[in-house]
Structure 1
């Protein structure tokens, strides 16, 4: 099987982790008789430096004409003082919108061999297995107006939280479908005690629930959800929520695994190619030093194999290789305990390739 993949290294350690991932994918393709063709394009800060545009039209075109998209990371202090339209994050928001990727999947899996890396108690994080499903193209990140203005004689800033019923319904239905295939429990997270948009969200969830009588449904306010994810994460199966709440909760959930460097994600729509990226940021403080953990990016590519390419066996093989590497005690700096040997990005990548060969 031949597949075309657009690779968007982005900023900071993005280049290092996507390079590691393409090396691993090439080995996997060799083992299974596939061929992956990579097309590279710019996004984020690097695109601003080259084109004065965080999302050049050529990048969008390349993504639309691919079978899948791998994204490293965007952002960094270099562009912190740029106007809002020229910030790296606008490239990320823009490509999600351009590809109509309305569902962001963030699995959180507790590897037993990594429980000591978490700041939480072992009994809390052992065998955690939850999926955070985040709405990706609506809500406060895209609502208009979004601007600075004078208000009551002083400077003010305005962001708008907007959700249409159709936007809520499609992500919620995805949540029910996913829960049906897992442990049949869906937790819908909102702020219905304060926000009108959340009250519409909750009403829509209740309507769709009628089509899924076998799925247990609970509603949870976002502040309580943040506490419960840390207190008792094993109570959750699938969590569905809006854009901003999902952004915050999924980063908090990363601490269950001990590091943002361990969490993959997939952004999918109804037809466009999926976008696959690690949850971690660009980490400019370690850029170019060979310290980046490539496992989240590699695991994100396994999600691409599964959701965009239908390569279920290959995805399982890659996930198992990552798990085997961790079980064997191999660590990059972000997940290493004191006294443990710290591997570089390239060394960890080679360990994954060795596990694949086995």
Structure 2
């Protein structure tokens, strides 16, 4: 038979009342009453009912408790997120007083990696980054190459030498490895070494592009040493901000951009910086170790960025950037040291 053909069957309808009447005919009314009395007086049934009632109340209690716990957990999670946010310590009054004392402009950003507390003063104002870029360039070079590849010798001529090149000027005939060039750029702030780093990375533009890839959308790199130190107010060439520089340094020196061996090497070079003694180091509390990179330029620009390691706790990353209002102004090491002192004491 085709599936779409359905035979109609005649169904005999029976009254439900009649069925019920027929069923009741066979029931004993007295037995029904006895059954009711048995259910009422049976202790086992009474216990089962009590247990069922208890289990129902218990289940309701558990569900209510779980709901409350979920609610509390949500609140705790939000609180944890709040704890993870930076808590800024306001030292504006002291920094403003320091600016007046030195007739200068100060930019500060520091973050305590243990407490996540920060100290900030003009953190997003632009300053010439000067030679502080060298530690970032070396960090990028370490990131992009194996240690063995950095043993490659780079040659250069006397014509490549620029002002203040105490290390590279001694090796014109032999050249230097990229590791040696990186160390010279950081420890001695050798300007020719800084230029060789930039050239190896593909120039200032490629240096800037790499910073963009790690999250820095602020720093503008355009020139080589020593022209990059020639700052003009309102011009963004070769400038950055204290916040951007501190965050960049934190990523390379403490973060996971570099594997342990390379990160340790970068920190050792900074720890041995020969130009930083009168700067952040001078303002750090006794016993605190400072690994830094300094820089100087026109308009009395004097900068220092550092990883500061107090005893028995996580480090502090700090960027101090300063300048004056006249192009031929001399820089002030003491200004940087005092700004660092205020900052680090606030984070003690």
Structure index of larger Rg: 2
Query: Does the pair score TM above 0.5?
Result: no
Does 1 or 2 have the higher relative contact order (CA < 8 Å, sep 6+)? 1
When you count strand as a share of all residues, which structure comes out higher?
A: 1
TM-score normalised by L of structure 1: 0.27
TM-score, normalised via structure 2 length: 0.28
